[in-house]
Amino acid sequence: MILKGATVNFLGDSITQGVGASSLETRFTDVFAREFGLKAVNNYGISGTRIARQQHPETDNPLYDQDFCRRFPEMNPNADAVVVFGGTNDFGHGDAPLGTFADRTPDTFTGACHYLMNGLLEMYVGKPVVILTPLHRWNEDSLHGDRKPNDVAPLSAYREILIKVAEYYALPVLDLYATSGIQPANAVCRERLLPDGLHPSDEGHALLAHRIGKFLESL
C-alpha cells in the first residue's frame, strides 16, 4: 500500500486516543501520519471502550459502552485503509463472554469480532482492513482482568480469537502481542515504553507508529 497522500481510519480505545502520550502530536496515529506522509488520519479512539457489547452497562463510565461494533458505521467511508486496535479492555473489564466461533452478534467477544470484521469488510471492500492484536500488559495472565467478578480468560485468549476471526475474513493481522517489542515484564522496557503497564509513552507511541506504517506499506 502507498501511504503518501492516503487517508487512514483508526478505530480503538485509550491507546489510539493517545493516553500515555504527552500530547496529541506524540500519539502513534499522528506520528504515523507525519512519518509516512499521509493526507489524513481519522482517529476514532475512545478511552475505555471495548470491541464487544457490555451485558451490564456502565453507570460510572457510560462512554465505555460505546463499543466498536456500535461505532464503526460512523467512520469515514472513503478512507483508503482501516486499522482496528482493541481487545485489551474486553480482557480488562468487559463482561461479554468469549463465546464460540459460530456467534455472529456483538454480545460475545467472538461474535463481536465477527460482526465488526464482516461489517468493515463490506464497508471497505477491496481496501486494507488491518487488525492489531493487544500489547502485552502488566496483568495479562489474570483470569479476571482488572475487575471482573468471575474468572474468564487471560489476554492471550482474546488475542487468539482476534487472529482466528481475522483469518476467516482474510484480513491482515499485525500481531503486536508477538512482535511489538513492548513487554512490561522487562523492567527497562516498562520504564521507557509502557510506564503504567498498559499505555505507551511517547517513545512507545513512536515505536507503534513505525511498526504499523511499515506493515501497511507491505500490503
Q: Enter the pTM of the model.
A: 0.97
Q: State how beta strands 7-12 and 173-174 pair.
A: unpaired
- Give exposure, 209-219, as e/b (b: 16+ Cβ within 10 Å): bebbbebbeee
**Mean pLDDT of the residues in the chain:** 97
CA angle 214, 181, 6 (to 5 degrees): 20
pLDDT at 63 (0 to 100): 86
Looking at the domain assignment, is residue 31 inside a domain? yes
Looking at the domain assignment, is residue 2 inside a domain? no
Higher pLDDT, 47 or 147: 47
Q: Which domain holds residue 147?
A: 7-217
Q: How many domains does the chain have?
A: 1
Q: State how beta strands 40-45 and 129-132 pair.
A: unpaired
Distance between CA 9 and CA 78 in Å, rounded?
9
Looking at the domain assignment, is residue 139 inside a domain? yes
Q: What percent of the chain has pLDDT over 70?
A: 100
Decide if pLDDT at 76 tops 90.
Answer: yes
Tell me, what CATH number does 153's domain have? Answer: 3.40.50.1110
Which tens digit of pLDDT belongs to each residue from 28-41? 999 999 999 999 99
Mean pLDDT (whole number) for 71-88: 98
- Give exposure, 108-120, as e/b (b: 16+ Cβ within 10 Å): bbbbbbbbbbeeb
The strand ranges marked E within the chain are 7-12, 40-45, 81-85, 129-132, 173-174
Looking at the domain assignment, is residue 1 inside a domain? no
Which tens digit of pLDDT belongs to each residue from 124-150? 999 999 999 999 999 999 998 988 888
Decide if pLDDT at 24 tops 90.
Answer: yes
pLDDT at 59 (0 to 100): 72
Tell me the CB-side half-sphere exposure of residue 49, using CA atoms within 13 A: 25
